[in-house]
Structure 1
Amino acid sequence: MSTIGEAVLVVDGGQSAVRVRHSSGVAADAPGVSWGGADTVAATADAVLSAWRSAGSPLTRIAVLGLTTVPEDVGERDRLAQLIAATMGAERLLICDDGVTSHAGALGGGWGIVLAVGTGVACVARPRTGGAKFIGGHGFMLGDEGGAFWIGRAGLAAALRAADGRGIPTRLQLSTAEAFGDVHGLHIRIHADPRAVDRIARFAPAVIHAAREGDPVAREILDTALVELTACVRAGWAAAGREPGSPLAVVGRLAEELRPELEDTLRGLAGLVDLRAALGGGLDGAERLAFEASAYGDAVHVWAKG
């Protein structure tokens, strides 16, 4: 059982999955949520509650939500909290970008830089004094360069161009057919898929594999992704105070897939950053924030019942 109490739920809500863990030890997940639906706030609340129910609807007094879909408007953050609390019975909710929970988990609540690479990309920097600063993480429509959706989309686009005769032939054509079926009509099926962001993101490992096997088209996509991720870290180093040897942790599902190439690329920043193994993940960071959120300033929105 967690030392933080018996009624705390922590949430890691991404575009591919929403994961929850309760201080009693139970855990579960549900499909993730992306921006773009009719009511993203309601969809996010539904996903969190679905995962909570899958965990057995444990008694919850405090919930900490690290999300990719944090509303910009304070009133909408409160609405999200109220939708969840009304069903869950929680008395206090903390809501923040999942980059914050990743940072708190990876660096144990300390200062430094955390690059989270999953479906999207988030880089959070915290100087020795001052709150969290965000680099990138602008979502699949405007950013997330180097993330799984970005890589997967580039791979599918390259395969479609090649199939049209507009691009260089690539083994990604075969990979696309294996993952999605006939390339002809693929664009129609993808655009009609309510889970399109997740499906496209899940194609990223196939692009990385093709790059490692020597496909030049896939290799160019991978190399560009590494340049973008390194640029995020460099900007994060500046935001963290430009100190030599600033702590850096790289986390996320795709980060594990890319680790050999990414670590090799980040050696070019030797002296600026000190690459460290993450102490924990996003759920661990959310658990830490349950009672230690002040260091992240207004990056953490607090809602209390009544």
Structure 2
Amino acid sequence: MSDAAQPRPRIAIDCGQTGARVRVVNAGAADTADPVEVPGVRTDHPVIPQVAALVSQALGGRQLPGAELGAGISGLTPGATRPAELLAACESIGVTRVAVAHDSVTAFLGANRLTPGAVVAAGTGVVTLGVGVSTAKVDGWGMFGDSGSGYWIGRAGVEAALRAFDGRGPGTALTRLAETEFGPLPEIYMIVQADPLRVRRTAGFAKVVAAAADDGDEVAQQIILGAADELAASVSAALRGAGWQSGDRWRVSWMGKVITTNPRLQNRFRERLAHTHPTVTVADPHGIPLDGVAQLLDLPEDHPITGLVAYAGR
């Protein structure tokens, strides 16, 4: 095979808010079979420069002439989707083509490949994407939504703790656990409000809520079941928005630890969808988000999901 026919190096970066992962293939000794872990992106700052910096950090100063870059980015808004800017920022690395998408797109591809259906990506935040006749993105509204996410569960857990503390709600182990996690309850809202990592810290309390539910705390159990119901409702909306009709045998899956590490929540999620969409297959994801990022560079032009990806270069 001539040098001209050699496959081009490819860089895939999956950018979340709590961390990012980078994989390099077709680059010989520079390949990273195990993804490189780097910090996440701050969605309250310009995102594209952060992505370029993270790619450079992951490569450790190496250059990959002719490389293609796929990027799935958490919280990416239409106005912030600037593939030409990312291409220019990565030219010094050797990148000549980029594909940029919201992380719901790469979650869908990693979970379902090109099969019609929906994916719910539930971590610190949550977004659901339906892909079928058309595409439909549901939630992902940050402080105004993200229902069923780690942040939603953590916040609900703290609220339940404070309701019990006030005498406005039933007793729960979450009262003691919230004080252990955040500090004195009379001071808790000031303590958390002053923390620049308050969203991540609140989302981290979701693990405590889930553990309390497993230990039999009824209030915690209702929070977990409520999260599952919210996620299932978002999936239903995404399926309808993507053109699902009764009887269609589409596929639903997920990404993120909120569902993968919580059997109680996952079982309720499955039960809800089996009731509302009995012909839909609810199944484990085929792969991980990085697998979906890699697919951005090879999508069929006529597939509905291709319209959600922004390209630059050649």
The CA deviation string for residues 243-282 of structure 1, in whole angstroms up to 9 with x for no partner, is 4331111221111122343234423433231112211111
How far 1:6 sits from its partner (Å)?
5.4
Are 1:62 and 2:65 counterparts? Answer: no
**Counterpart position of 1:169:** 171
**Counterpart position of 1:285:** 292
* Residues 92/100 of structure 1: CA separation in 2 closer, same or farther (3 Å cut): same
Bigger CA drift: 279-288 or 192-201? Answer: 192-201
**Counterpart position of 2:28:** none
> Is the contact between residue 255 and residue 289 of structure 2 (CA under 8 Å) also seen in structure 1?
no
Letter in 2 for 1:137: G
Letter in 1 for 2:136: K
Instruction: Choose the corresponding residue for 1:269, options 273, 297, 302.
Output: 273
Instruction: Choose the corresponding residue for 2:13, options 11, 14, 18.
Output: 11
Are 1:196 and 2:198 counterparts? Answer: yes
Bigger CA drift: 233-242 or 201-210? Answer: 233-242
**Counterpart position of 1:72:** 78
1: CA distance between counterparts of 2:124 and 2:216?
24
Gaps of at least 5 residues in structure 1 are none
> Is the contact between residue 109 and residue 285 of structure 1 (CA under 8 Å) also seen in structure 2?
no
Gaps of at least 5 residues in structure 2 are 1-5, 26-30
> Is the contact between residue 27 and residue 55 of structure 1 (CA under 8 Å) also seen in structure 2?
no
Letter in 1 for 2:282: L
Are 1:297 and 2:303 counterparts? Answer: no
* Residues 265/111 of structure 1: CA separation in 2 closer, same or farther (3 Å cut): closer
Instruction: Choose the corresponding residue for 1:246, options 246, 250, 255.
Output: 250
How far 1:160 sits from its partner (Å)?
2.9
How far 1:289 sits from its partner (Å)?
1.4
* Residues 15/302 of structure 1: CA separation in 2 closer, same or farther (3 Å cut): same
1: CA distance between counterparts of 2:24 and 2:253?
25
User: Which structure's CA Rg is the greater one?
Assistant: 2
Bigger CA drift: 260-269 or 167-176? Answer: 260-269
> Is the contact between residue 87 and residue 96 of structure 2 (CA under 8 Å) also seen in structure 1?
no
Letter in 2 for 1:70: L
* Residues 207/68 of structure 1: CA separation in 2 closer, same or farther (3 Å cut): same
* Residues 80/205 of structure 1: CA separation in 2 closer, same or farther (3 Å cut): farther
* Residues 153/87 of structure 1: CA separation in 2 closer, same or farther (3 Å cut): farther
SS of equivalent to 1:205? helix
Letter in 2 for 1:158: A
> Is the contact between residue 151 and residue 202 of structure 2 (CA under 8 Å) also seen in structure 1?
yes
Letter in 1 for 2:38: A
How far 1:48 sits from its partner (Å)?
5.3
How far 1:82 sits from its partner (Å)?
4.9
How far 1:182 sits from its partner (Å)?
3.4
SS of equivalent to 2:185? coil
How far 1:71 sits from its partner (Å)?
3.0
Matches within 5 A, 1:113-192: 113-127=118-132, 129-130=133-134, 132-139=135-142, 141-192=143-194
CA RMSD of aligned residues (A): 2.6
Identity percentage over the alignment? 29
2: CA distance between counterparts of 1:237 and 1:22?
33
SS of equivalent to 2:82? helix
> Is the contact between residue 110 and residue 291 of structure 2 (CA under 8 Å) also seen in structure 1?
yes
**Counterpart position of 1:29:** 37
Q: TM-score, normalised by structure 2?
A: 0.83
> Is the contact between residue 148 and residue 254 of structure 1 (CA under 8 Å) also seen in structure 2?
yes
Matches within 5 A, 1:96-107: 96-107=101-112
Q: TM-score, normalised by structure 1?
A: 0.85
* Residues 88/227 of structure 1: CA separation in 2 closer, same or farther (3 Å cut): same
Letter in 1 for 2:140: G
